[in-house]
Amino acid sequence: MENKGAILMERYELGRLLGQGTFAKVYYARDIKSGLSVAIKIIDKEKILKVGMIDQIKREISVMRLIKHPNVVELYEVMASKTKIYFVMEYVKGGELFNKVSKGKLKESVARKYFWQLISAVDYCHSRGVCHRDLKPENLLLDEHGNLKVSDFGLSALAESKRQDGLLHTTCGTPAYVAPEVINRRGYDGCKADIWSCGVILYVLLAGYLPFHDPNLMEMYKKIGKGEFKFPNWFAPEVRKLLSKILDPNPNTRISIAKIMGSSWLRRELNVKPQVNTAEEVNEGDPLDLDAVFVSTAEDRNSVKDQKPEMEKPLNLNAFDIISLSSGFDLSGLFEEADLKKEVRFTSNKPASVIISKLQDIAKCLKLKIKKKDRGLLKIEGCKEGRKGAVCIDAEIFEVTPSFHIVEMKKSNGDTLEYRKIMKDNIRPALKDVVWTWQGEHEQQRRQLLPAEQQQQGHEAQQQSSSDSL
């Protein structure tokens, strides 16, 4: 059915493969009746059932059905067969905005146009109770007329996802674009977090590289938390003023979208404004029983017609959700590319308590001392004096979500060769039950904008990995 030229649901003729990820493939297709070009995202039911992503897909449908805006990719309909789910979407053939900025900074007038369209789309999403939560150039597409289209609502949140404190509490997004308050894990306003991401995107459009960049994820998070970045010398005073207000680490004093849209820099020389649909103008279609989309019976071969779904309950994203649906949050971006020297990292989808318990068991078996410190830091100390004293290993646990942790292990004392031997022969094998992946074991292309001298290499790498977010 998925071969080129095949007819899907007696209506769509499938064409070339546009991209693919872990759970889905996206094809170009043509509506046989109208001749309209569309993109069809084909999701494997069995795969998403195995990893518990049903609610995630339902929420994505819910969100996309709420949004009808000229600068947002439109979802036309949802269909289902016994084994597949089909998203029939607007075909945007201009590619990712990432492709343009990976070649270098844009002209100020061009950046202004794209930023206006982005802010207009985000403002509309917020008015409909939707926070995107993963805004970045890879998720901004361009049509044949050069107009921007926001895509990929896989990590978005509805108003109903907020807790009683009125805040969101799921840590997600792409590291370089995520707001400080999201990292702090104390709850955040999704709309204000989106504004921060828009500011990072504006900086990237005008500079050609990221404002916050470091090969070590934790060091980059420190820079983001303090709002530490520098303006290139070609940034105009008006741009600097605007970006300083957008990239304000304090969400309570961060500029609002209304004020951004009224800023002198954004208004200057801007003649074309997108026509924003009002809530009354949105045609949400007939009601859709989302549960019917996930039924795996022989009788559901016919298309399930698109409809307005129920709002979803809060969802805690697991490691599979984040990494499979957010291409920029790939594992390579979490780790330094330098040769393994004094530190290694691994990811785990186990609770922190399980990881700590495992480390304690390992220390006991190896007759090593273990001491708990503050904020998820454990010190594992050898009892024997080596060439340079007793080997001491620090293990620090960082929570990305309650079920996704990054653990950094590094030598803080002793001989490096002895440390490596303990890690290789004892600790790494013993950790196999809690490790999801070790640093460097999965080859994934980096989806971050690189400094100017590395941009061409980054552009070539993204050609291979651009389908991951699909």
What residues act catalytically? 134
End-to-end Cα, the chain, rounded Å: 19
What are the Cα distances from residue 357, in Å, to 363, 426, 428? 10, 16, 15
Distance CA(205)–CA(100), nearest Å, equals: 9
CA angle 196, 199, 204 (to 5 degrees): 135
- How many whole angstroms separate alpha carbon 207 and alpha carbon 234? 9
The rounded distance, in Å, linking the Cα atoms of 162 and 154 is: 17
Judge whether 137 and 115 are in contact, CB under 8 Å: no
* CA distances (Å), origin 50, targets 44, 98, 205, 282: 10, 32, 39, 35
Where b means 16+ CB within 10 Å and e means fewer, 86-118 reads bbbbbbbebebbbbbbbeebbebeebbbbbbbb
367 is in an annotated binding site: no
| Strand duo 24-31 + 12-20: pairing | antiparallel
The CA distance from 22 to 158, in Å, is 25
The CA-based angle 166-59-462, given to 5 degrees, is: 105
User: Are the C-beta atoms of 409 and 327 separated by less than 8 Å?
Assistant: no
Look up residue 170 and give its DSSP letter: -
| Residue positions forming the annotated binding site for ATP | 41
| Residue positions forming the annotated binding site | 41
